[in-house]
Amino acid sequence: MSAAANPSVSIQDLTLSFGTVSVLQSLNLDIAEGEFIVLLGPSGCGKSTLLNCIAGLLDISDGRIFIKGKNVTWEEPKDRGIGMVFQSYALYPQMSVEKNLSFGLKVAGTPKEEIDKRIARAAEILQIEPLLQRKPAALSGGQRQRVAIGRALVRDVDVFLFDEPLSNLDAKLRSELRVEIKRLHQRLANTMIYVTHDQIEAMTLADRIAVMRGGVIQQLDAPQAIYNRPVNRFVAGFIGSPG
Ligand code: ADP
Ligand code: MG
């Protein structure tokens, strides 16, 4: 799948520095509606920085970001139509799972029947119905991460952003939740941008992978194309291509 004429997310000439340290320089990326894009690269290459710029959590130095055709470059994170899932679950420890899911909706003034409907749907999709009255401390890592995904799901966002959501899980849970996220994407069919340094996650989840190094996208293509035809030795080495 390649980016369409009306991309879901369009990043144009994005430049970001921390003080005098330049992390992203004039980066461009168009993501099609419904596409699953993985940002893949070694630690420190700028994946989280790019994701945080899209989320509106960092002020960019230059460039523009469009979501669903709207220039959101200076919009608040809550007004961008995005939901973010982090490596650490960032759940409210004192609240039940149900309250964790409903809190943001209540703050936004969503009517109670609508909140209940959305929680029921999210709980069914993520198979967390039996956990709704529990506190986060009583959940496993995998269950917590499902709840974290649920918080984005109930907000009915256009674009899901994931930052290494499986990194804190053991290998078995990681592969289980990977399948779960893939299923979620197939069911919801919305745009997902997923950061990881794990090649297997990238190869199994992505419609297209953006391989990053030093703040630069080295190659942007379907997993098989990158594997079979890496553009340089860095990409070949990182992906583990035979040649
Ligand atoms: P990744 O997510 O790919 O591991 P990051 O986006 O977190 O990489 O970081 C990219 C670069 O920006 C790194 O060199 C990192 O040290 C630097 N960096 C990230 N956040 C900050 C910050 N708040 N202040 C200064 N430098 C930062
Ligand atoms: Mg990171």
Bigger pLDDT: 1 vs 209: 209
Q: How far is the CA of 196 from the centre of ligand 2 (A)?
A: 8
pLDDT band at 77 (very low <50, low <70, confident <90, very high): very high
Q: How far is the CA of 86 from the centre of ligand 2 (A)?
A: 10
Pairing verdict, β 70-71 and 62-67? antiparallel
pLDDT band at 2 (very low <50, low <70, confident <90, very high): very low
Q: Is the ipTM of this structure higher than 0.85? A: yes
Q: How far is the CA of 85 from the centre of ligand 1 (A)?
A: 18
Q: Which of 14, 15, 17, 18 has most ligand 1 atoms within 8 Å of its beta carbon, as the pocket-test mutant?
A: 18
Average pLDDT for residues 161-181, to the nearest whole number? 92
CA 96 to chain centre: 24
Pairing verdict, β 21-31 and 62-67? unpaired
| Predicted TM-score (pTM) above 0.80 | yes
Average pLDDT for residues 55-78, to the nearest whole number? 95
Nearest C-alpha neighbor of 88 from the set 153, 150, 161, 168: 168
163 neighbors 195 (Cβ within 8 angstroms): yes
Task: Report the pLDDT value the prediction gives residue 1, as an integer from 0 to 100.
Answer: 46
Closest-CA residue, ligand 1 atom 25, reads 18
Cβ–ligand 1 contact at 8 (below 6 Å): no
Q: Considering Cα of 19, then 23, then 28, then 29, what sign does the dihedral take?
A: negative
Q: What is the pLDDT of residues 3-40, one digit of tens each?
A: 457 899 999 999 999 999 999 999 999 999 999 999 99
Nearest C-alpha neighbor of 115 from the set 170, 69, 155: 155
Q: What is the pLDDT of residues 82-104, one digit of tens each?
A: 999 988 878 999 999 999 999 99
Cβ–ligand 1 contact at 47 (below 6 Å): yes
Count the Cβ atoms, other than its own, within 10 Å of residue 63: 18
Count the Cβ atoms, other than its own, within 10 Å of residue 187: 9
Helix axes 141-154, 97-107, angle to 10 degrees: 20
Rounded to whole angstroms, the Cα distance separating 228 from 193 reads 23
Q: What is the pLDDT of residues 123-160, one digit of tens each?
A: 999 999 999 999 999 999 899 999 999 999 999 899 99
Closest-CA residue, ligand 1 atom 7, reads 48
* Average pLDDT value for the chain: 94
38 neighbors 2 (Cβ within 8 angstroms): no
2 neighbors 47 (Cβ within 8 angstroms): no
pLDDT at 230 over 50: yes
Please give the number of the atom of ligand 1 that sits closest to the Cα of 42.
3
Cβ–ligand 1 contact at 44 (below 6 Å): yes
